[in-house]
Each structure stands twice: as structure tokens, then as C-alpha cells.
Amino acid sequence: MTTMRLLKDIDEPGLATREVYERLGGYAAMRRAVTEMEPDEVLSQISESDVRGRGGAGFAMGKKAGFIPKGDMDKYLVCNADESEPGAFKDRVLIQRNPHLLVEGCIIGARAIGANKAFIYIRGEYELQGDILEAAVAEAYAAGYLGRDILDQGFDLDLVVHRGAGAYICGEETGLLDSLEGKRGNPRLKPPFPANAGLYQGPTLINNVETLCNVPLVIGMGVEEYRKVGSEQSKGTKVVSVSGNVQRPGNYEVALGTTIREIVYDLAGGPLEGREIKCFFPGGSSAPVLTGDEGLDLAYDFETMAQAGSMLGSGSIIVVDDAQPLVPLALRLAQFYRHESCGKCTPCREGTNWTVKMLERVDSGEATPMDLELLQQVQTNIEGNCLCVLGDAMAMPIGSMLVKFRSEFEEHAERARMRNDAALVEQPAVELAAAAQVGPA
């Protein structure tokens, strides 16, 4: 049921060291890419493999790398290891247990586009993982896999591990670039896209950790073998972070196209005894929710998730069972996005704030049915109207909950209102009793 490629040797003791990694075949693909292949050949293998970005949008890596201009200029490869999406924790395990796979992916990726400088931007909270990665990079330098004249082929590459400072928006690729340049991490207006004007205005390829970890596999096993696993438009495997109301939360690697039921029930153990799945987020907290009925038997791949009106995103399934009320969940999500909004555009800055306020009213019993209507409209007005997709990342899941579970929101508001009314009726008696005890002045 699982198809192990990236996580194949994950439990091997010492895998984070170069010695063990190489004993298990590591760096062979890099050797081939650097000593036996021209950069164009490396790039075309990545393109033919059809490996799609594992960081959120699912854009084909080869196509993006193909946009990088040819020629002699400063070009950059940047690995996005910010992993701050609620529900996502797969890059963490890849970096912690198998850091050399990522280093190898960065070297091959840089070779493909002709970059001589690479950066791994890792979220600040991943302190341990950052240390492990730095140790792996130092080992790669010592072995001559990084630095000047790699493997005597005249190829130079420096790789820097850069730590973030705890902002979700720095995972957005252009916010990340600004942060890397030492500025406040605000998303940039696109175009120009990073492939043309990215880091320090130079051509830049930005890819997620898991995307780059697929690159040594493509070169190592060959395109044909790589493409044998997966579905029509989603090739390879996916490391899926499963969390929420399941018995065995964790990271599971499956062939893209495996059904969600297999992932959630057979691998993650399904919901707790006696519970049913109410809904789930198929691609981290930014993805529109799917109900258990509509989503569990779908294939987990980019195209099927999009057809179902949601997305595979970073590949994180958050399960919500029938014991969880959705209003506090939606409120917590909205608070997260309000806190993380950079505040640059009005629909996101104001919309996330008003969504929190309205959900608080629903929760506290101050909302009227019109408020729910307004709440829905705010989500619609955010979607597609922001500079980056952080605004949409709140509007899409909350909007989908309001559409699919409207009656639950209405009942929650009504129950809270009735509780308030009951408290009001009781209040005079309490006040009278207190007044009687104190007596007249």
C-alpha cells in the first residue's frame, strides 16, 4: 500500500551521515549528473519525469526550470523549507532523517539550470533540522560535492542554509526571497516571476524540499522507471502528512493516485472508535474541505483534488471527526491567517480580521443569520483579489465549510444565542439576591 522511495531508508541508523547515505547509493545520481551529463540533459530528464511541485501549487518543476534564461550570469537555486502550513510536517522528516538527499537534489537542480549559488531557507522553528542540515552541507563540502570545481568538472556551487524567523508568509516564494535578501518578508508583485527576476533580481528557481528530493530519484532510476508510479498527470510518490482525528497520525509515502480512504483508514488507522469522518482538508489548512462522503474514495493526486473543488497543496490531510464543532475550528484558522497576513492588501488584511470578528460573534451568540451571509460574502470577496494567495488560503477553507456545513453554523449560533437569553432571564434574580444581601446604604 505504501510505495517507499523518499522514505525507503528513513529508519536506517545514521542515514543523516554521508557515510551511510553513500553506502545506500546516495550521491550516485549527482555524480552521474555532474560527470556524465550536460546540464541540458539533466534539465530534460527532470522535465520528462513530469515531477510536479510538492510545495503547494503542483507546478511542473521541469517547466519552471525551463523558464530560467540560458547563458553566463548569476543564477540561483532556492529551496523552500519554510514548511509553516498547518498540517504539514513532511519536509521536517525528510530534512531530519535524510538531509543528504536534499543536498543532492539541490546540487543536481543547480547543475540543470547553471546556478552557482544555492540557498535552503528553513523555518526558524526547525532548529534541530537546521543543525542537521548544516552538518550535512559541511560533509558535502568536505567531500568535494560542494565548493569549487566539483568532481573536477569545473562546476562551482555554494550552498547556504538560511534560517527564517517564524513568519508563515516567508513560505510564499517572493516573500521568502525578500526575507533572504534581509528585508521584511513581503510578497512581491508578479510578474516578473522569480525565474526572470528573483533573488537579487537574478534568475531564480524556487522549489520545495520534497520536490528537490525527487530529483536524485529521477536521475538515479531514469525517467521511465520514475514515471511507472503515479497517476495520469501526477507522477511519482507523495509523502502525506496525516493529522487530526485519526488513530495513527504521521507521514506516509504513497503512490500519487492512491485513494484517500486507503491513506486515512489503512495507513492512519481511521477515526477513533465510534466516530465518523465529518470532513477533511486534503491539502493542509489552506485547502477547501471535502466531506467524508464526497472525498474518501477519490484518488489522491493533483488533478482529482482540483476536479473535486479542492487541492492537494502540500499533501497534508487533516481529518475532522463528527465530535468536532466546526465554528471553533474555523475561528482558530481565521485567527492564524489574520496573524500571518502581511497586511499589504486590503481584502486580506481586513477580510481576515473581519472573519475572526464575525466568527467570534457566531461563537458567542451575538450573530444573526445575516451575519453568516456576510461572512460568506467576505470569503467570496477575498478570493482571487489578493497579491498572494494567503488571503485565499483562509477564504477557501472557511468558505467551503460555510457552504457544506451551513446548518451547523446556524445551529451553533442559535444555541449560543439561546444560552445568552437564558442567562439574561436568570440575571435579575441573581442581582436581586446580591442587592438583598448588601442592603440599602
Ligand X SMILES: Cc1cc2nc3c(=O)[nH]c(=O)nc-3n(C[C@H](O)[C@H](O)[C@H](O)COP(=O)(O)O)c2cc1C
Question: Residue 293 contacts by C-beta under 8 Å, 6 or more apart in sequence?
Answer: none
Distance CA 106, CA 195 (A): 16
Q: How far is the CB of 201 from ligand X (least distance, A)?
A: 18
Question: Which one of residues 53, 114, 220, 257 is an interface residue with ligand X (CB under 6 A)?
Answer: 53
Between residues 345 and 413, which has the closer beta carbon with respect to ligand X? 345
**Backbone phi, then psi, for 175, in 5-degree steps?**
-65, -40
Report how far apart, in Å, the C-alpha atoms of 291 and of each of 181, 238, 297 are: 42, 22, 11
Q: How far is the CB of 395 from ligand SF4 (least distance, A)?
A: 10
50 interacts with ligand X by CB under 6 A: no
Question: Which one of residues 211, 245, 285, 341 is an interface residue with ligand X (CB under 6 A)?
Answer: 211
Binding site for ligand SF4 (CB under 6 A): 169, 187, 341-345, 348-349, 386-388, 390-391
Between residues 47 and 341, which has the closer beta carbon with respect to ligand SF4? 341
173 interacts with ligand X by CB under 6 A: yes
Question: Which one of residues 83, 104, 139, 301 is an interface residue with ligand X (CB under 6 A)?
Answer: 83
Amino acid making up residue 225: E
Pick one of ligand SF4, ligand X, none as the site partner of residue 60 (Cβ within 5 to 8 A by kind).
none
Q: How far is the CB of 392 from ligand SF4 (least distance, A)?
A: 8
Between residues 16 and 169, which has the closer beta carbon with respect to ligand SF4? 169
Piece of 79-87, 126-134, 188-196, 236-244 that binds ligand X (CB under 6 A):
79-87
Question: Which one of residues 10, 20, 28, 57 is an interface residue with ligand X (CB under 6 A)?
Answer: 57
Distance CA 338, CA 344 (A): 12
Pick one of ligand X, ligand SF4, none as the site partner of residue 391 (Cβ within 5 to 8 A by kind).
ligand SF4
Between residues 348 and 372, which has the closer beta carbon with respect to ligand SF4? 348
User: CB 188: neighbour CB atoms within 10 A?
Assistant: 18
Pick one of ligand SF4, ligand X, none as the site partner of residue 313 (Cβ within 5 to 8 A by kind).
none
Listed residue (270, 273, 286, 275) closest to 321, CA to CA: 275
The DSSP result for 203-228, as a single string, is -EEEEEHHHHHHHHHHHHH-HHHHTT
Is residue 269 a contact partner of residue 344, using CB atoms and an 8 Å limit? no
253 interacts with ligand X by CB under 6 A: no
Listed residue (24, 46, 4) closest to 216, CA to CA: 46
Distance CA 144, CA 140 (A): 6
Indicate if the alpha-carbon torsion angle 53, 57, 58, 63 is positive or negative: negative
**Backbone phi, then psi, for 320, in 5-degree steps?**
-120, 120
| H or E element at residue 103 | helix 99-113
Q: How many residues bind ligand X (CB under 6 A)?
A: 24
Between residues 53 and 292, which has the closer beta carbon with respect to ligand X? 53
Between residues 267 and 386, which has the closer beta carbon with respect to ligand X? 386
Residue with smallest beta-carbon separation from ligand SF4: 348
Is residue 355 a contact partner of residue 334, using CB atoms and an 8 Å limit? yes
Binding site for ligand X (CB under 6 A): 53-57, 59, 80, 82-85, 168-169, 171-173, 206-208, 211, 388-390, 393
